Amino acid sequence: MPIPEEVTGEEIDKDVRQELQSLPKTLAEDVARNLVMVARLIDEDPEGAYGYSRVALRLASRVAAVREAAGFAAYACQKYSEALAEFRAARRMTGNTELWPVMADCERGLGRPEKALDMAGAPEVHKLDKAGQVEMRLVAAGARRDMGQLDAAIVTLQSPELASSSVQPWTARLRYAYADALLAVGREAEAREWFAKAVEADRDGSTDASDRLAELDGVEFTDALDENGERGENAESATVAVTPEDSERGADADADKDDEHPAEHPVDHSDEGPDED
């Protein structure tokens, strides 16, 4: 697969670069460049990232970082069986447990939420750092929802991390998941509160909490169009937020306008006969 000339391979993390030192120099450079492309594309073009990961895997399947990258690329494409196999391989090579939550989520993707819950209670979870433990909690809550245990999902997410006022990289996602779980059982007022808290913590736009909050508030976003139904020259990207109150005010204004300017030619029904049965 083609790789832009400006991609040198030096862009990768130094730990990964160190892993690649076990390879011949030219091969290490080729693998590194493919891994850079995986990282660049995985969010916007998962299939493209997957393609580059397969090239890297073909070149250096015995490097743990390559197996891990291949796992995440497959995961992004919802190829959960393949992703799980790659994550397991990477874990065997390194002995690390940091991939445990995403491995459990692969079990969910394969339709095995019970297995994901078993993994959530395994000793490996205690070896995870705080971010990993929160991730595992999110996976476990998702597994509960998969099984129709909505109230249990809410309880699973209730934790010191959720109650904390400090903002961490995972805070927005945790609050969002809790809000979504509350909404699933009809606790709309509480859900709105937690979506709002998720918005406060979502500094990099990792969730659509603001859209969900607007939806709960009944806000609709419409394009600002001119009278011919086309965008004006100065309104190429303009949108207008319309709330239920705005709609009511608009309806009242239209009614007042009709009272001030009645129809010039009202329809006369006086000559119409009675309705026939």
Instruction: Express each pLDDT in 38-94 by its tens digit.
Output: 999 999 999 999 999 999 999 999 999 999 999 999 999 999 999 999 999 999 999
The rounded mean pLDDT for the chain is 86
Q: At what angle do helices 100-109 and 113-120 cross, to 10 degrees?
A: 160
What's the CA gap between 205 and 196, in Å, rounded? 13
Tens-place pLDDT, residues 109-123:
999 999 999 999 999
Q: Which residue has the higher pLDDT, 175 or 271?
A: 175
- Residue 256 pLDDT: 53
Q: φ and ψ at 37, to 5 degrees?
A: -65, -35
Instruction: Confirm whether pTM is higher than 0.75.
Output: yes
- Residue 264 pLDDT: 42
Query: What are the helix (H) ranges across the chain?
Result: 14-19, 25-41, 46-59, 64-76, 80-94, 100-109, 113-120, 130-146, 150-157, 160-163, 171-184, 188-201, 209-216, 244-260
- Residue 230 pLDDT: 54
